[in-house]
Structure 1
């Protein structure tokens, strides 16, 4: 077991640092725009929710390259990897056009929010600027998927850290103005993000061309048009993966919308709890990515028993660390909340929610690590169905029944935000167990028949 754990950890820690850098992007934007104006901060919040929905869905589709390239790398089919990457860039180009239209003309979505004119204009400007950077973001996703697939996550991490280093000074200049540039507020941080996205995309493509490790793949050695069979394979795996990401994002988004009915103090407690949960989530996510890389390579090399052991050890590692995190969080709850806010009412609202997060995080670790392992087997449709039933049905549906006490059967301690968090925890538990049982079935088929 320990050799596998060492391999997983070696790949997981760069992914973790890179993911934390991405989270820091949002924290910096929120903190700096919040000091500019309340209207710009509201526009940032609304615009970000729309952008993330578009971005997550499309990058989820492109992440299909990772298990495909990983299996080819394990099979030592370098030329085929180059062909798949070229096809992924074509797919990114098509998705960029679709995403650009959604972000540049977001009026239908903004009309649903019924925003006042000033907020509408700032949000529109924010989204239109980000639309110009979407092609670069999707191109970088192709690069990062390939780098992770072949066991080079540090090459992604370095660029993400570099982007974070540039973010603060660019934000300061463009949000608050200076050196001949007027104060732009929220749209200023969108310009900073767009410039940085193009820079790291260009650097990433340069790495594919110049770094010796990637030369056998010959990604840009020749021009090729889209090949429908390869595009079909990418979409067959990528669309369910993108949908699963959207299900996760929307389940949490709607939970926040429902909890907002219980007042600002309850919502503030929920937001703090959600932020802590998101930070904890980065560790099992990173372990899942690392495990997926090693499992897909083992499958490509026809080492099916090794793939199964790697998967089991990756899931066990993610859940084991989650138990340690959960225990520490339970003990340190008062101190963690004191670091977030001095408001005693918000602390009182968040304290019972953090106790629920102890179980929530363990279930979260199980589901995300198993989901990534299944993607290494090129399995995505059934997991997406499991996600939809669990997160939308049990999580949101059960949350409404408990939180709003529909039918009058919910006990007092399960009403309000606690009901939503308990239902969401249960949904993650169901999803995690369902995904794990399905992985066992899939992995057994490989052992028996040499294929899924």
Structure 2
């Protein structure tokens, strides 16, 4: 009876952390969703251009911002261990790292963007839209990465509802500026897919401004004096952030970049295929927000439990999180299967794209189960600060197994473009299996250490 009561309390606490994270993730994803769907209403070229631009940007952003996710377990464990005086120092160092990363992206983008796009064999109009979509988006890189750190700080304290409110506040801004710049309303220029990049950049500035205000003016964040205490750059602290963050970033990059690579390989096909693939991937990514949110919530609660040396509680949270993700994955798979026509119509009114998108969505069903296992386990392992093996598994699963399988099936079987999706499914399944074994080993290790200390 006591165990059941304790588990009930854990479910309630995890849910209180999870729900705002889910709303936040859906909100952030909605910006890309608005970019894609609203651009698709202009012309298939705009949809394809934004698809290519997003395929280049998303793995770069998610991989490098993944480095900053290390702030969450670091702060969570400091809070769990009641070392709150060390929190502002680490957050400020995280902000310094975010500025460094932003500068690095802009410099690299200046030199490599044109060569990459020119070598992709795109139609001229699609290449032009992709290029200027990314250039427009780059105007918001600095605030976007600063916000990533501030969000990690706020979330690690358990106040995920705050970042939810920030994101929900910014959504109308993104939608309005998309409407103005994509379609050219109220005297604004009609820029199509390029306008989506401008709208997103403006939104990133708004999100960051709101976050800075809250961290400065609202409790309990203002008590940490994040922007009122000067801390010089500490490369030792950078080392701690990067030691945990780089493997996290690499594992995320390997996962997201394989989706980007598949989209880029799709550039050999007709624009209709590119647009259909992107629409289906976009919706699959939308559903991925469920296991991803569970993953982020688990990092917070398990980080706090491990910091407080409550190892058994950490393990119970992991079971609850994985179980919840599995249930939601079954619901997601059913949603895709029964509502394929309605989902496809969200992205396009072009008959050819509409039909092909529904075919791709069938394959997206098989993403759900693997994501329901792999994503929560990644969050759990980050809570333990176990990140090195995860990125090696991601490299093997996606690039040694997934992409080669996809290329072979697409090239040497009648499945053609669908073969790449079979490769993605294979990589995701391999990752889920490998991470499950890793989690078992880490939990056993911590239980042994805990028993020895007691």
Question: Shorter-normalised TM-score: what interval?
Answer: 0.7 to 0.9
Asked whether 1:358 is paired with 2:356, we answer no
1:262–1:416: 8 Å Cα contact kept in structure 2? no
Determine the C-alpha separation between the residues in 1 that align with 2:109 and 2:237. 28
Determine the C-alpha separation between the residues in 2 that align with 1:107 and 1:170. 27
Structure 2 residue aligned with 1:230, among 230, 237, 245?
237
Equivalent runs, 1:296-375 vs 2, <5 Å: 296-333=303-340, 336=343, 349=356, 353-375=360-382
Structure 2 residue aligned with 1:21, among 8, 16, 27?
27
1:147–1:155: 8 Å Cα contact kept in structure 2? yes
Residue aligned with 1:44, SS: helix
- Relative to the length of structure 2, the TM-score reads 0.88
Determine the C-alpha separation between the residues in 2 that align with 1:121 and 1:138. 26
Determine the C-alpha separation between the residues in 2 that align with 1:186 and 1:271. 14
Asked whether 1:169 is paired with 2:183, we answer no
- Which residue of structure 2 aligns with residue 396 of structure 1? 403
2:46–2:129: 8 Å Cα contact kept in structure 1? yes
1:87–1:230: 8 Å Cα contact kept in structure 2? yes
1:91–1:231: 8 Å Cα contact kept in structure 2? yes
Cα distance, 1:437 vs structure 2: 1.2
Cα distance, 1:88 vs structure 2: 0.2
Structure 1 residue aligned with 2:302, among 278, 285, 295?
295
2:305–2:311: 8 Å Cα contact kept in structure 1? yes
Higher mean Cα deviation, 26-35 or 3-12? 26-35
Q: List gaps (5 residues or longer) in structure 2.
A: 1-6
TM-aligned CA distance change 1:403 to 1:164, over 3 Å: same
Structure 2 residue aligned with 1:220, among 227, 242, 246?
227
2:55–2:264: 8 Å Cα contact kept in structure 1? no
TM-aligned CA distance change 1:212 to 1:377, over 3 Å: same
Higher mean Cα deviation, 252-261 or 389-398? 252-261
Asked whether 1:279 is paired with 2:248, we answer no
Determine the C-alpha separation between the residues in 2 that align with 1:44 and 1:266. 14
Cα distance, 1:118 vs structure 2: 6.3
Cα distance, 1:129 vs structure 2: 3.2
Asked whether 1:445 is paired with 2:445, we answer yes
1:70–1:296: 8 Å Cα contact kept in structure 2? yes
Cα distance, 1:345 vs structure 2: 6.7
- Relative to the length of structure 1, the TM-score reads 0.88
1:103–1:130: 8 Å Cα contact kept in structure 2? no
Equivalent runs, 1:11-410 vs 2, <5 Å: 11-35=17-41, 41-105=47-111, 106-113=113-120, 123-177=130-184, 181-259=188-266, 270-333=277-340, 336=343, 349=356, 353-405=360-412
Higher mean Cα deviation, 49-58 or 279-288? 49-58
Determine the C-alpha separation between the residues in 1 that align with 2:33 and 2:327. 28
1:44–1:123: 8 Å Cα contact kept in structure 2? yes
2:174–2:203: 8 Å Cα contact kept in structure 1? yes
Q: List gaps (5 residues or longer) in structure 1.
A: none
2:52–2:264: 8 Å Cα contact kept in structure 1? no
Higher mean Cα deviation, 331-340 or 130-139? 331-340
Determine the C-alpha separation between the residues in 2 that align with 1:44 and 1:433. 33
1:136–1:198: 8 Å Cα contact kept in structure 2? yes
Cα distance, 1:48 vs structure 2: 3.0
Q: Alpha-carbon deviations, 1:82-109, whole Å to 9, x = none?
A: 1110100110111111112233453333
Cα distance, 1:425 vs structure 2: 1.9
Cα distance, 1:174 vs structure 2: 3.4
Q: Alpha-carbon deviations, 1:346-400, whole Å to 9, x = none?
A: 6765566544433321111101111111111112111111111111122111122
Cα distance, 1:339 vs structure 2: 6.6
Q: Alpha-carbon deviations, 1:187-221, whole Å to 9, x = none?
A: 43333322221122122112111111113323233
1:100–1:132: 8 Å Cα contact kept in structure 2? no
Determine the C-alpha separation between the residues in 2 that align with 1:187 and 1:340. 17
Cα distance, 1:304 vs structure 2: 1.1
Report the number of matched residues. 444
2:292–2:375: 8 Å Cα contact kept in structure 1? yes
